[in-house]
Amino acid sequence: MKEQVDILIYGKVILTMNPDLDQIEQGAIAIKENSIFAVGSKGYIEGKYSAPEVINAPEGLIMPGLINTHTHAPMSLFRGMADDLPLAKWLKEYIFPAEAKLTEDMVYWGTLLSCCEMILSGTTTFCDMYLFEEYVARAAKEAKMRALVGEVLYNFPSPNYGPPEKGLIYTQELIQKWEGDPLISVAVEPHALSTCSPQLLRDAKDVAERYNAPLIIHLSETKTEVEEVIKRYGKTPVCHLNDIGLLDDHLIAIHCVNLTEYDMGLLGERNVKIVHCPESNMKLASGIAPIPHLLEKGVTVSLGTDGPASNNDLDMFQEMDIAAKLHKFQAQDLTVMNAMQIVRMATIDGAKTLGLETRIGSIEEGKKADIIIINLNSPHLIPLYNPYSHLVYAANGSDVVTSIINGKIIMKDRNVLTFDIKEAMERVNKFSRVI
């Protein structure tokens, strides 16, 4: 008598991304409730389990869902609004005035549109920093995506919560409201050193420690930022964070483009997690983060797309491709940032960055069933010698045909099943006429 599970998946190859990086040819996965119940050969799984839902993907590459560790998801509302301008002009004359008009409804639908884009390109988890994050959480929940969200904190009034002193109150209320949710969790997210006082940063850390929540901040993104911090505090942003007690293993630092050798050593010693956003860094002319050097120092590095207004997409396949090629070009070394390392950054190292590595990021028994299937039966993916190389250098987001999040089929045959994509597009088009 076969044991009953909820879903069975059969495919050409499974990339587990487990500690041994096992690959299973002609593999299969059994899913029960929201978790991976068993992983093995097709013959083994087929002989032992039965399910009402069976996904046969004879030309499918099965792998963990991609993890986008830094987004501003509602900024799909501003995609392409004012490109190819100096950063200060882009922000002050276009983005900030547009953000002043934001409403909760706009944030909700902008996020839902971004969820659509991410699901269609293989992302199952994203980490967001923006305004009105309660509505980012609601949209992610509607889409049935996994998300870590956090309200951006400033020293100046916010279009959402008003005066600065209310920012941490809003964050705590957000944490309390979503506590225990199977898909949504909350981080504490001060914006950057240039926009947050040392006291606000210390207070943010206190809240993060009180609720055991991640602390996330943009760090050393541009040369201008670094120069301003040195002028104000007499030290680099990394050293400043270290001196006020924020540099530890709970901190997730975004960008880290402009670092000294001493900065990199500190980040490694303190076990700070880094999010690399190469496409955004290139488009905004911020520079190239020293990722190979950080990896040599044992730093956990993951990938993020940044927002749809500064990238301008949320496709993690493009991010993987750029991350690999950019650093090879800069180092003039073909061996730098190999394909396996890049796929790790988009999966299990993304989970480690967000503190979720015991739950997601690899295909292992007991972990949550966040799984995608890529159709290999396409001219640009034939023949198959090395799955990692195909994922980084050849595959596109549009090659993802099925997405499962928390044991539920969210996309099947490229049809998103959880919400009306057409409505999300229509709503955002309507908002674009009044922003």
- What are the pLDDT digits (tens) for 34-67? 999 999 999 999 999 999 999 999 999 999 999 9
pTM (predicted TM-score): 0.98
* CATH class of segment(s) 66-353: alpha beta
What is the model's pLDDT at position 434? Answer: 87
Which is the CATH superfamily of the domain at 3-63+369-416? Urease, subunit C, domain 1 (2.30.40.10)
Let me know how long the chain is.
435
pLDDT one-digit tens code per residue, 75-91 = 999 999 989 988 778 88
- What pairing do the DSSP bridges indicate for beta strands 27-32 and 35-41? antiparallel
pLDDT one-digit tens code per residue, 115-168 = 999 999 999 999 999 999 999 999 999 999 999 999 999 999 999 999 999 999
Domain boundaries, the chain: 3-63+369-416, 66-353
The dihedral built from the CA positions of residue 234, 236, 241 and 245, taken in this order, carries a sign that is negative
pLDDT one-digit tens code per residue, 240-261 = 999 999 999 999 999 999 999 9
Cα-based distances in Å from 374 to 6, 28, 91, 95, 256: 21, 14, 37, 36, 32
Could you tell me the two tokens for 298? 């044992």
What is the model's pLDDT at position 148? Answer: 98
Q: What gap in Å lies between CA 230 and CA 243, rounded to an integer?
A: 13
